[in-house]
Amino acid sequence: MSTFLRVLENEARNARPSAARRAEFAESCLEVRMFNVGEGEAILLVFPQKRAWFIDGGSSNGSTLNRKLGEGLIAYLEERQLTLEAFVPTHPHIDHVGALATILSSGSGRIASSLAIYRSDDGTWNLSKTWLNELRGAIASFATSGSGNVELRPLSDAHREIIVSEGVRAHLSAGSGDGAYTAIFLQLRFHKTPGSSSPGTPTAPTRGSSSIASGPRTSERTS
């Protein structure tokens, strides 16, 4: 059962949209779902054809909660029959990325054979920390196990435009620096195409995300 909220500047209230409004939501070309992970972040983007991306995926600074979160996120993908095509960590901290190793090690068929990871290109990713070492091992094992391959796409002082599908483009931008908060940012742009049944929905810039085209990846431009 879905819960609807009306989000105001300082509070969120329960909302009761009409049946017509609920039908509009059901036909929307974008679903954004925020998971309650405690201290951390995990946001799911769902596009047409059941394609999914995660913005972050981590909870607290411990391995146990991150492993539990990773298992829960995979279970959700499997329940919804969604295919995870990309993961974009906003910055390299365990409470934002700690569940990714468990996701990659799950052996789930809901992970695309070519998974893109868009991230900032700062030195924090190269530190020798337990959770980062586990992530590097999971990335390597994902390929050697025959599950597919992980495409690391670091960005530094760059902008990348990606065609997600007809009428949908993702714009990724990242600055440069040596600190963990050299974040990556996402802006999604929608427009209605001729013959489209659902209207385009412009969105405000959202911190951290990614995109993959349906089927073979189409156009990517870096500037």
Structural tokens at position 173:
């931008």
Q: Determine, yes or no, domain membership for 158.
A: yes
Q: Determine, yes or no, domain membership for 153.
A: yes
Q: Tell me, what amino acid is at 25?
A: F
Q: Determine, yes or no, domain membership for 6.
A: no
Across the range 134-139, mean pLDDT stands at 97
Q: Determine, yes or no, domain membership for 215.
A: yes
Q: Determine, yes or no, domain membership for 38.
A: yes
Q: Determine, yes or no, domain membership for 7.
A: no
Q: Determine, yes or no, domain membership for 14.
A: no
Domain of residue 145, CATH code? 3.60.15
64: left (phi over 0), alpha (psi -120 to 50) or beta: alpha
Q: Determine, yes or no, domain membership for 13.
A: no
Degrees, nearest 5: CA angle 203-206-208 = 140
Residues 69-114: tens digit of each pLDDT: 999 999 999 999 999 999 999 999 999 999 999 999 999 999 999 9
The total of structural domains in the chain comes to 1
**Structural domain of residue 30, as residue ranges?**
20-222
